[in-house]
Amino acid sequence: MIYTSKSFLLHRNCFKLLQRYSNRLSSTDRTKGDEPTPSKVGANTQNPISRTMKLLGNDMKNLKEFLLPSQQEKDSTDSYLERYRREDFQNHCDVLVIGGGGVGSSIAYWLKKRARSGLNVVVVEKDSTYQEASTCLSVGGLRQQFSIVENIQLSLYGAEFMRNIKQHLGEEVDINFTPYGYLMLASEQGAEQLQENSKLQNLLGAKNEILTAKRLKERFPWMNTDGIELGCHGLEKEGWFDPWALLSGFRKQAISFGAHYVDAEVVGFEFRQQSDILVEGLSPGEYEGLDKAYVKLKNGEIRDIKFAIAIIAAGAQSGKVAKMARIGAGKGILTVPLPVEPRKRYVYVYQCENDRGPGINTPLTIDPTGTYFRRDGLGGNYLGGKSPPPEEEPSVDNLDVDHAFFDSHVWPNLARLVPSFEAIKVKSAWAGYYEFNTFDENGIVGPHPYYNNLYIATGFSGHGIQQTPAIGRAISEMIIDGDFRTIDLKRFGFDRILVDQPLYEANIV
The 3-state DSSP class for residue 293 equals strand
pLDDT one-digit tens code per residue, 354-401: 778 898 899 999 999 999 999 998 778 999 999 999 999 999 999 999
pLDDT grade for 64, boundaries at 50, 70 and 90: very low
Give the pLDDT band (50/70/90) at residue 284.
confident
**Rg of the chain (C-alpha set):** 32
The answer to whether 370 touches 386, Cβ cutoff 8 Å, is: yes
Pairing of strands 239-240, 444-447: unpaired
- Cβ partners under 8 Å of residue 189, min gap 6: 368
Beta bridge partners of 122: 96, 260
If pLDDT is split at 50, 70 and 90, which confidence band does 36 have? very low
Residue 178 DSSP code: B
Of residues 195 and 11, more confidently modeled: 195
The distance from CA 1 to its chain's CA centroid, rounded to whole angstroms, is 35
The model's pTM = 0.82
Q: Which has the higher per-residue pLDDT, 286 or 197?
A: 197
Question: Has residue 48 got a pLDDT over 90?
Answer: no
Pairing state between β 364-366 and 260-273: unpaired
How far apart CA 5 and CA 68 sit, in angstroms, is 16
Q: Looking at 277-281, 285-289, 384-388, which range is the least confident one?
A: 277-281
CA distances for 247 relative to 182, 251, 252, 458, angstroms? 22, 6, 9, 16
Q: Average pLDDT in the 14-34 region?
A: 41
| Per-position DSSP letters for 389-441, written without gaps between them | PGGGPPP-SS----HHHIIIIIHHHHHHH-GGGGSEEEEEEEEEEEEEETTTS
Report the chain's terminal Cα–Cα distance, integer Å.
57
Secondary structure of 238-290 as H, E, C letters: CEECCHHHHHHHHHHHHHHCCCEEEEEEEEEEEEEECCCCCCCCCCCCCCEEE
Question: What confidence tens digit (pLDDT) does each residue in 217-276 have?
Answer: 999 999 999 999 999 999 999 999 999 999 999 999 999 999 999 999 999 999 999 888
Beta-strand runs (E) in 5-120: 92-98
Cα→Cα distances 26→38, 55, 293, Å: 16, 12, 60
Count of other CB atoms within 10 angstroms of residue 83 = 11
Which residue in 290, 378, 286 sits closest to 331, CA to CA?
Answer: 286
Contact 353, 382 (CB under 8 A): no
Neighbours of 501 (CB within 10 A): 11
Is 496's pLDDT higher than 80? yes
Q: How many angstroms separate the CA atoms of 146 and 452, rounded?
A: 32
Q: How many other CB atoms are found less than 10 A from the CB of residue 365?
A: 26
Q: Say what angle helices 102-115 and 468-480 make with each other, to 10 degrees.
A: 50
Question: pLDDT tens, 85-128?
Answer: 445 789 999 999 999 999 999 999 999 999 988 999 999 999 98
